Structure 1
Amino acid sequence: MIIIVLAVFAVLTYISWFYIKSAPTRLVMGLISFALLGATVLLLTANIKSHYGMKNVTTTTEKTIYSAGGSESPAGMLITQELGTKSGNYVMIYADREDGKAKPHFVPNKKNMAEAINKEATYKTADVDKATVKTVTTRREWKNDFFKWLLDFGGEGHSLVKQTSTVTVPKNTWVVLSAKQAKQVTAKQKAAGQDKTAVAAQQKQMRDAIQAKVAAYMKDNPKASANDVANYSHEATAEMTAEAMKQMLK
């Protein structure tokens, strides 16, 4: 709309100065139309240069994510691939549902690089019970309907200013791997699985270690419920599985 308003004031300015014969009227109308034209130009310039008439609106979402290794493994797995060198920006593979298939997230949209450069994704490990992804999104919105009506000639509303996604995984029960490391672990697990005797021995060793941990937990927490014991057993299993996966990388 502002382009139309600008054109109207430009025409009025031209008519006022060149077609009105009365000098006083020409002066008054010429100054008024020129002032309105100048104000419109300044408003348009302010919008283009500093987004006048708009405001930043920030929203935050957080949801649980699930292992890239599926639900069969007690330990969680997050596969990462850094974009560039020391950028701190990653493509990450995980599942959105517990029974879902793992897929890449935060892959830059090459068809819209202007928006892609305003997005970043990273990860961290922490003392938490479940893995989550927290996304903070800032978009530029119109302050009110008047500014939208007047200035929205290029679809600037809802434009992305910045989006930051942070994946947080439990430090003891999840393993963060690069794509190369994930292939390395898979290969070693497949090779180890060929020796059934060694596999059986490792499984027995892990069961014995978990039983010892659970026994110690029950001794220290004599009032623990069956559900508490089951949860602790599951956590201990996940921790030992994660540690075993980490050892494969050494």
Structure 2
Amino acid sequence: MLVNAFQQPIGAPLPHWTARPVPPHTPLNGHFCRIEPVDVDRHVDGLYRAYSTAPDGRDWTYMSAGPFADAESFRSHLIKAAASRDPLHYTIIDLATHEPTGMLALMRIDSGNGVIEIGHVAYSPLIRRTSAATEAMFLLLRHVFDDLGYRRCEWKCDHLNAPSRAAALRYGFQYEGIFRQAVVYKGRSRDTAWFAMIDRDWPAIRMAFERWLAPENFDAAGVQRVTLANLIAAQCSGTESSFRRTPESSQE
């Protein structure tokens, strides 16, 4: 434990730390998908079609926006998203069809402290539970840690949003607790569940993502041989990562 001249415990020094770059709003390319800045004219029709494949509006219950009554209200939402610089909204393009299939964002960008959040994750039924969905998250995480050198990436959601909580754990974020009555949205109170990943967690998690996305992890029918959660647990075991499994972490 480090102490100062007054024998008080203090955190680790960062003598070479400098503020990190603000993320450039540029495309990120993968094997299954590309994520690119929201472009209303190019993306609005495809995204609206993708979201309209859902049988009802339940996917928007825990989002700050939606569901959308018609194409025009969705266009208005997308215009605001495209103009925003924090959050930085991205459209996910499925490289098999070259069609938009969902959205996600980098937000709460704190370049001075090297902290950033992934949020506004809205996957349509066309991408949910596919390799492209997992790769889209991998592309953003790799960008945050490897390209930009951030120290911490956060994930937050309504604590009642069980699918979002399970997704955070599957992707390798660690649960950090509940902020009570943190947000008011859609006329409701929200207790916010916090999850985070830090830079020393990332090398092992990156390797797990790469192993999961590799062609040999899928059989002839496209079914995964090993889950991402199990790969992350195996990679992080015995490393210097601060990763710890929780009872929820086995969800896939």
Shorter-chain TM band: under 0.3
Over alpha carbons, which structure has the higher Rg? 1
Q: Structure 1 or 2: larger helix share?
A: 1
